Amino acid sequence: MAEIHHTTAKPTKLELLTEWLPTRLWYRGGSGAPELAKAGGFRLDDPEGEVGIEFLIVTDAAGDQPVTYLVPLTYRGAPLDGAEDALVGTMEHGVLGKRWVYDGCHDPVLVAQLVALIEGRAEAQAQDVSDTPDRDVASSGAALSEADLAAGAADDQNGTELAGALRLNRVLHAAPEATGHVVCSWRTTTGSRSRGPVVVARSDGGA
């Protein structure tokens, strides 16, 4: 399992996302800079131990109403070939050195491990504690075909179509009877908890 290093990173994840989020089709903010706070998330392990995988949830309080976003990220010790358009930025990690941070929807390691989570072959891990499963994250156990895995990722105004069979809900909403391929909780700006689907089955007509 991945070891969580409690150290500094420059720039921070939130600083990188402040610049990157407004460039996304699904960003709901205005012309001003986002005001981001971490709201939750979970991690997945790379079986090879090389790539950090995090499903980060952040809330932007800059607008009239706060908006909560799902941002899957991967952290690599070297650039990912052919993924220049998916680069969120680089940071200097206090233990691991320079890290290349990618929109994980375009990183094959994250996609493979997300599918493993959905199929029950991988277990979500706590975001901030090493070697600790995150029991809050529920997955469906659905099976995906090799053809599904061959497809790439594409953003639209509502989220990201992933692997030909899944949709990532980039803008998160609470659902009392939450169902989906992956469901988790996050903190609201009032300190309460919301819960809803973060990955769902792709609808043929789009969301």
3-class SS of residue 17: helix
Cα(44)–Cα(58) distance, integer angstroms: 18
Cα(58)–Cα(53) distance, integer angstroms: 16
User: Is 8 a residue whose pLDDT tops 80?
Assistant: no
User: Is 133 a residue whose pLDDT tops 50?
Assistant: yes
Cβ neighbours of 134 (radius 10 Å): 19
Q: What is the mean pLDDT of the chain?
A: 89
Instruction: Find, among 18, 46, 22, 57, the residue nearest to 172 by Cα.
Output: 57
Please tell me the predicted confidence (pLDDT) of residue 158: 87
In this prediction, residues 31-36 reach a mean pLDDT of: 92
Please tell me the predicted confidence (pLDDT) of residue 180: 80
- Secondary structure in 3-state letters for 124-139: CECCCCCCCECCCCEE
Confidence band for 204, pLDDT divided at 50, 70 and 90: very low
Give the model confidence (pLDDT) of 140-179 as tens digits. Answer: 888 876 666 666 899 999 899 987 788 999 999 998 877 7
> End-to-end distance of the chain based on CA atoms, in angstroms?
35
Do residues 61 and 37 lie in contact, with contact meaning Cβ atoms separated by under 8 Å? yes
Percentage of the chain with pLDDT > 70? 90
Give the model confidence (pLDDT) of 87-126 as tens digits. Answer: 999 999 877 789 999 999 999 999 999 999 999 999 999 9
In this prediction, residues 2-24 reach a mean pLDDT of: 86
Which residue do the tokens 């504690």 mark? 129
Report the range of poorest mean pLDDT among 41-55, 68-82, 117-131.
117-131
Sign of the torsion formed by the C-alpha atoms of 62, 65, 66 and 70: negative
Which residue do the tokens 């952040």 mark? 58
3-class SS of residue 60: strand
Q: What is the pTM of this model?
A: 0.92
Please tell me the predicted confidence (pLDDT) of residue 186: 97
In this prediction, residues 11-22 reach a mean pLDDT of: 96
